[in-house]
């Protein structure tokens, strides 16, 4: 069992930055692929990006490429989402998720993740 707690959300003006953190419990954090998802009001949850166990490889959805960066510190059991050049359309509840690695799968879908945090609100005003 892995418990995830996000923090760092808040309100910011367009063009600003925020860094979200996701702290994980348990000794097995380094064995999980970590993903970030978001859900805006009235919309389905969508993939933002993910980072593999070693931290060597990341994948992002097109709308955040070049603006968002995912990193992880396995010694601290924490994954981060650095968000720069924020836009009003980035407004959403952001969730981190932990998924057991799945051979041959990119893990871009929420069904490929096993544990979820409670979410943190990000609001970007124009």
Q: Give the other-Cβ count within 10 Å of 10's Cβ.
A: 13
The average confidence (pLDDT) of the chain is 96
Once rounded to an integer, what is the mean pLDDT over residues 106-121? 96
What is the pLDDT, as a whole number, of residue 5?
97
What is the pLDDT, as a whole number, of residue 9?
97
Taking alpha carbons only, the member of 88, 42, 90 closest to residue 64 is 90
What is the pLDDT, as a whole number, of residue 55?
87
Once rounded to an integer, what is the mean pLDDT over residues 93-103? 94
Token reading at 50: 């993910």
> What is the rounded distance in angstroms from the CA atom of residue 79 to the CA atom of residue 92?
19
Once rounded to an integer, what is the mean pLDDT over residues 19-47? 95
The Cβ-side half-sphere exposure at 123, using a 13 Å CA radius, reads 5
Q: Is the pLDDT of residue 83 over 90?
A: yes
Taking alpha carbons only, the member of 92, 83, 79 closest to residue 34 is 79
What is the pLDDT, as a whole number, of residue 97?
98
Q: Is 40 helix (H, G, I), strand (E, B) or coil?
A: coil
Cα–Cα distance list, 62 to 23, 107, 120 (Å): 26, 15, 22
């Amino acid at each position: 069992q892995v418990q995830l707690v996000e923090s760092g959300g808040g309100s910011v003006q367009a063009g600003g930055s925020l860094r979200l953190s996701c702290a994980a419990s348990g000794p097995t954090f380094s064995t999980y692929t970590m993903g970030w998802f978001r859900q805006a009001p009235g919309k389905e949850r969508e993939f933002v990006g993910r980072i593999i166990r070693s931290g060597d490889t990341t994948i992002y959805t097109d709308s955040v490429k070049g603006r968002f960066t995912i990193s992880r510190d396995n010694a601290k059991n924490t994954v981060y989402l650095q968000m720069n050049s924020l836009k009003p359309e980035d407004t959403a509840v952001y969730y981190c998720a932990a998924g057991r690695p799945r051979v041959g799968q990119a893990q871009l879908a929420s069904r490929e993740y096993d544990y979820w945090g409670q979410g943190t609100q990000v609001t970007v005003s124009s």
